[in-house]
Amino acid sequence: MDSRAIGVFDSGLGGLTAVSALRELLPGEDVVYFGDTGRVPYGTRSAETIFRYAAQDVRFLLGHELKCIVVACGTVSSVALPRLLEMTDIPILGVIEPAVRAAVRATKNGRIGVVGTSATIRSGTYREGLLAANPGLEIISKPCPLLVPLVEDGRFSEGCTVTELLVEEYVSPLLKQNIDTLILGCTHYPLLTGIFSKLCGPDVALINPGYEAVSALRELLSENDALRGGGPACGEHYYVSDSEQQFLQYAEMFLRGPVHGQVQRIDIENY
């Protein structure tokens, strides 16, 4: 048994969808979350800048007693994960491989769509992973650079005309190519599940990478007898690089429940 916490980080609020999955799948675990809200979004940055930001995020989290880190960011997982793995001996899990496995299981016609930030799509990591799993798949990818800022601004509910029009513009070309599975390749996008579902219909499976990553983490911890043991739980700790109040404004919607614990602002440039 291992009572150390699970670290989670993202460029902003999107990684809270992974914390929501942790609450569901690993409810006894303590969580330390960092959202780099002062530098969101990562998806429009260069690969070197993304790595620099992510390395600072990891160094901050390593200041806590952790047994693993979940990179709850599609951009970082696709661009910087191999270099982050060299920074520590504890496991660091990204969201790409678990989502790839889920998509391969879900597809029936072998036509899989991938939406994500510009950096994620440009990296080709999803395409490479899917084709490595099954060379016969047809992958149709689309960068969606404007969705993260809209989600961070709270514009993710059904009926938000601007967001609905953007999702339609981004996803319609993929639907015209008869995809039956769509990877929501950014942890912000599950907040748009209602909009994606309405557009795609019941015949397109939507893959939530954050949820799949936490599912994979549960398997890993179980196999290594590293699930949390007895003793008092410390709960959840939240850190951000910008306004605590702005974080709290939308955090409950991302978590699908209340924020447990305090939110503290830190200067990530010190790490």
Catalytic residue IDs = 73, 186
For the record, the structure tokens of 25 come out as 């799948």
3-class secondary-structure state, position 220 = helix
37, 12 in Cβ contact below 8 A? Answer: yes
Angstrom distance (rounded) from CA 72 to CA 182:
18
DSSP 4: P
Residue type, 200: C
Instruction: Residue 241: name the closest of 81, 9, 7 by CA.
Output: 9
Beta-ladder partners of 114: 141, 183
Backbone angles phi, psi at 23, to 5 degrees: -60, -35
Rounded to whole angstroms, what are the CA distances from 100 to 19, 104, 114, 213? 20, 6, 10, 10
3-class secondary-structure state, position 8 = strand
**To which residue do tokens 């661009």 refer?**
79
